[in-house]
């Protein structure tokens, strides 16, 4: 699965995100330079989330390499990462709010949807 979305409303920060079964690649669109390579657990559905209208932040959320964990990568204004346990079972869905301030996750069990404040996770 290939996802092409601007992470920030500026042509200087457009990224290309390529989601493979056990890895996510982030490229700079302008020169296709590799920015990040993220290992994930088995992810055949290509689960990932980008904040579509991040004016000050660029955030990518993916399953982590451990089952039930989520990795949040902050690309602007700083390059930091945070991994935390979201569920006991494997992640089934991830979505970021428009601004990237909130992250919602669901596990494959399907009984709980959890909401996280990404500003506190950083």
User: Using an 8 Å Cβ cutoff, are 85 and 68 in contact?
Assistant: yes
Q: List alpha helices for the chain, DSSP H.
A: 118-121
| Mean pLDDT, residues 16-30 | 90
Task: Give pLDDT tens digits for 32-87.
Answer: 899 999 999 999 999 999 987 766 778 999 999 999 999 999 887 778 899 999 99
pLDDT for 26 beyond 80: yes
pTM, two decimals, is 0.84
Closest CA to 72 of 113, 36, 121: 121
Q: What is the pLDDT of residue 94?
A: 96
99: burial class by Cβ within 10 Å (0-12, 13-18, 19+)?
A: middle
Domains of the chain: 2-121 (2.130.10.10)
């Amino acid at each position: 699965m290939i996802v092409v979305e601007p992470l920030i409303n500026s042509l200087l920060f457009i990224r290309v995100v390529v989601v493979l079964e056990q890895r996510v690649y982030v490229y700079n669109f302008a020169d296709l330079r590799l920015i990040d390579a993220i290992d994930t657990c088995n992810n055949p559905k290509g689960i990932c989330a980008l904040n579509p209208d991040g004016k000050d932040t660029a955030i990518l959320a993916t399953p982590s390499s451990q089952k039930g964990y989520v990795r949040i990568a902050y690309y602007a204004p700083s390059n930091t990462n945070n991994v935390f346990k979201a569920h006991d079972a494997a992640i089934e869905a991830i979505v970021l709010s428009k601004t990237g301030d909130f992250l919602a996750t669901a596990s494959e069990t399907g009984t709980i949807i959890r909401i996280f404040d990404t500003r506190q996770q950083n």
